Amino acid sequence: MVKDRFADAIAPAEHDDGDIGAIKDILGFHIRLAHGACLRHFTETFTDLDLTQKQVSVLWLVDDHPGIAQTDLAQRLRMDRATTMAIINRLQAKHYLRRMRSDHDGRKQALHLDPAGVDVLAKAKTAIREHEAWLKARFSDKEVKLLLDLLARIHE
Amino acid sequence: MVKDRFADAIAPAEHDDGDIGAIKDILGFHIRLAHGACLRHFTETFTDLDLTQKQVSVLWLVDDHPGIAQTDLAQRLRMDRATTMAIINRLQAKHYLRRMRSDHDGRKQALHLDPAGVDVLAKAKTAIREHEAWLKARFSDKEVKLLLDLLARIHE
DNA sequence: TATATTTGTTTGCATAACATACAATCAAAG
DNA sequence: CTTTGATTGTATGTTATGCAAACAAATATA
């Protein structure tokens, strides 16, 4: 193991002792950093609207699929039921959406946007456009498509 | 049931009001989902070791740079000081590392791995290898390099 | 009918980001 | 030197999220 080198020196990947490479070579590490950078910029962009990524995603999906159930929402966003509950509760407390009992399945909650939710979603989409522009500024259109494809393979 | 979904849950998204595309076209959305999938698999892989991504990253960096200060660590991992504190505290409570006052700067904490930390890091690197294999299984070597490059552009 | 599954809910715990305030230390200016 | 300002670590509190476990209501299935 190479130790005690200068902090910013880049280690030549010379150790063929079966050991794993530097942390810089770990794909998961870069995914986490990229996500962090993305989240940070998102949060800045949405300070005025006071919405998180998850909350925007939920509003967006409820708008796209009026009457969607919490479980369906959870599956699409890869959340569990308890987490979904917390998010829906917060959005409902702000009167952005409401729960309505499903007609033909008493277990399900049919989610619908409230007027305030429609309003804030429109503003959110504008903010998302800015955020996406910031994110995509470093890529060509071809690279964006490529990145979308690669990322989709991870979460699908 | 298919019948239910038609009636209640999923409506064809018809309203293309000319603004932003579907949520599926949002790059940030896919980054978050990919990160979530990655984090979920990581957590499963590390249930026995009881370590998080952040904690492994910190152990790794402290091993690579013995005597590193918390601020330096924070900068490399894009965390703030308070968050770094919490993580260091947890690792110290497990006797994975220790704080030692820096010789030349009384403000800084020089971080060093304890024997238990060296031990658990070795196991962690094995687990990381598995995790990375799972992650990279869906890509060719060329695609991995490409993805690393694209992601680095986001967080650098 | 009896049993199993689904869905939502509640509670509790852990991680983590962030803000704020504070103390100790160091650096720089006078 | 002293004063001032910046850096570093620390303590505290808030918020968001994720997950597990337990429970109730409604539905599905044997």
Structural domain includes residue A84: yes
* CATH assignment of the domain containing A70: 1.10.10.10
Model confidence at A87: pLDDT above 90: yes
The one-character DSSP state at A25 is: G
Structural domain includes residue B126: yes
Q: What percent of chain A has pLDDT over 90?
A: 79
List of chain A residues whose C-beta atoms are within 8 Å of the C-beta of residue B30: 147-148, 151-152, 155
Minimal CA–CA distance to A156: which of B54, B6, B29? B29
Instruction: Closest CB to A67: pick one of B8, B27, B125.
Output: B8
Structural domain includes residue B133: yes
Structural domain includes residue B19: no
The reported pLDDT for the residue numbered B30 is 95
Find and list the nucleotides of strand C having atoms within 7 Å of a protein beta carbon.
6-12, 15-21, 24-27
Write B103-112 long-range contacts (CB < 8 A, 24+).
B105/B69, B108/B69, B108/B70, B108/B71, B109/B69, B109/B70, B110/B66, B110/B67, B110/B68, B110/B69, B111/B62, B111/B66, B111/B67, B111/B68, B111/B69, B111/B70, B111/B73, B112/B62, B112/B66, B112/B67
The reported pLDDT for the residue numbered B19 is 59
Chain A interface mutation, best of B33, B102, B128, B143, highest count of A Cβ atoms under 10 Å: B33
Structural domain includes residue B147: no
Residues A49/A123, Cβ–Cβ less than 8 Å: yes
- The rounded distance, in Å, linking the Cα atoms of A4 and B67 is 9
Structural domain includes residue A152: no
Radius of gyration of chain B (CA): 21
| A85: containing domain | 26-141
Residues B69/A7, Cβ–Cβ less than 8 Å: no
CA angle B9/B12/B17 to nearest 5° reads 125
Residues 74-103 in B contacting A (C-alpha not used; CB under 8 Å) = 77-78
- Mean pLDDT of the region A27-50: 95
The DSSP annotation for A62-123 comes to: HHHSTTB-HHHHHHHTT--HHHHHHHHHHHHHTTSEEEEE-SS-TTPEEEEE-HHHHHHHHH
The reported pLDDT for the residue numbered B66 is 95
What is the tens place of the pLDDT at every residue in A39-72? 999 999 999 999 999 999 999 999 999 999 999 9
Q: Residue B156 — very low, low, confident or very high, per pLDDT cuts 50/70/90?
A: confident
List of chain B residues whose C-beta atoms are within 8 Å of the C-beta of residue A37: 78, 154-155
Model confidence at A1: pLDDT above 50: no
pTM as predicted? 0.85
Structural domain includes residue A64: yes
Structural domain includes residue A60: yes
Q: How many domains does chain A have?
A: 1
Radius of gyration of chain A (CA): 21
What is the tens place of the pLDDT at every residue in B98-155? 999 998 898 999 999 999 999 999 999 999 999 999 999 999 999 999 999 999 999 9
Q: What residue has its CA nearest to the C1' of C15?
A: B52
Nucleotide whose C1' lies closest to the alpha carbon of residue A103: D26
List of chain B residues whose C-beta atoms are within 8 Å of the C-beta of residue A33: 77-78, 151, 154-155
